[in-house]
Amino acid sequence: MPEGDTVWRAARELNAALAGETITRCDIRVPKFATTDFSGRTVSGVVSRGKHLLIRIGPLDVAPVDEHAPDRAASGPEDGWLLHSHLKMEGLWHVYDRGQRWRRPAFKARCILETAAKQVVGFDLGFLRVLPQAEEDDAVGYLGPDLLGPDWDAAEALRRIESVPERPIGLALLDQRNLAGIGNVYRCEVCFLAGVHPLTPVAQVPNLPRIVDLSKRLLEANKLRSRRITTGNMRGDPLWVYNRETRGCLRCGTKVLHELVGDNALELRDLYYCPHCQPLPAT
């Protein structure tokens, strides 16, 4: 399940392959942007913003093949463009050498960018759009401080979480407007490590700064790992409670409970917790 650490690694890998390189082929397989062609433009960089990935594409290096084509991205703003993607549940980006066989079927590809040496392919992307770089803040500016970004601000994240004191901490952590990068796995594991029931109202959480700190530390510890680990056990069970409803809490063995929780019926997500290690406080 892609979370902030997964997207951070993807951006790092794509940036190494694309930054400073000229695009020689562009194939965006989303109907609205299918005629967009960034060929001849240089990638200025690739960055993550929480769970969002932004490929920044600069001005033309060479004249376009058809400079009168109205849908061609080359005829747009000269301060550059953005390829804005979100992996959702199943998306991923791969980097290949030119001519290397893909590890996913071609029909799942949603975006293909080629340079002289590399081929970057986005598969099963839950969200993909093209917009001018000038609109980057409009696209992702609503997000809270990025747990893995240069804008990380623990005090601001805490302020945002505390702004709705009656909201369950499990929902507050998952809200990207509070802090960007936490997904379903991390919110369950952070609450477990803090000994807090995920449905505890924010106002009743005994040490909220510690939860913010745990969130930051877990993503930092895992950002360079292909396997997400919250237990510290590199060879054994990697998680304390997430997806363990049939095996029990890794700490005490109590049956892990599973619920579907969200702000509304369209935002229900899996929630796992240990009722022994994370008792719900009296209201």
pLDDT, tens only, 56-96: 999 875 444 444 333 444 445 467 999 999 999 899 999 99
The closest of 45, 178, 18, 221 to 113, measured between CA atoms, is: 18
CA distance linking residue 97 with residue 129, whole number of Å: 25
Q: Compute φ and ψ for 264, nearest 5 degrees.
A: -155, 175
Mean local confidence (pLDDT), 111-115? 98
Of all residues in the chain, the percent with pLDDT exceeding 90 is 87
**CB 218: neighbour CB atoms within 10 A?**
24
**4 band by pLDDT with thresholds 50, 70 and 90:** very high
pLDDT, tens only, 121-131: 999 999 999 99
Which residues, 6 or more positions from 8, have their beta carbon under 8 angstroms from its beta carbon?
Answer: 48, 148, 181, 219, 223
* Per-residue pLDDT, 74: 43
pLDDT, tens only, 129-172: 999 999 999 999 999 999 999 999 999 999 999 999 999 999 99
* Per-residue pLDDT, 283: 64
Concatenated DSSP letters for 45-76? EEEEETTEEEEEEEEESS--S-TT-TT-GGGS
Residue tagged active-site, from 41, 51, 187, 223:
51
Name the one residue in this structure whose structure tokens are 């392919």: 121
Q: Which residues in 110-136 are b (16+ Cβ under 10 Å) and which e?
A: bbbbbbeebbbbbbebeebebbebeeb
- Gyration radius (Cα) of the chain, Å: 21
Of all residues in the chain, the percent with pLDDT exceeding 70 is 93
Mean local confidence (pLDDT), 267-276? 95
3-state helix vs strand vs coil in the chain, percent to 5: 30, 25, 50
* Per-residue pLDDT, 59: 80
The closest of 121, 103, 123 to 112, measured between CA atoms, is: 121
Average pLDDT of the chain? 92
Helices (H), 145-198: 154-162, 169-174, 184-194
More reliable by pLDDT, 74 or 229: 229
Distance between first and last Cα of the chain: 33
More reliable by pLDDT, 114 or 61: 114
Residue tagged active-site, from 3, 49, 110, 145:
3
2 catalytic per annotation: yes
Which residues, 6 or more positions from 235, have their beta carbon under 8 angstroms from its beta carbon?
Answer: none
101 catalytic per annotation: no
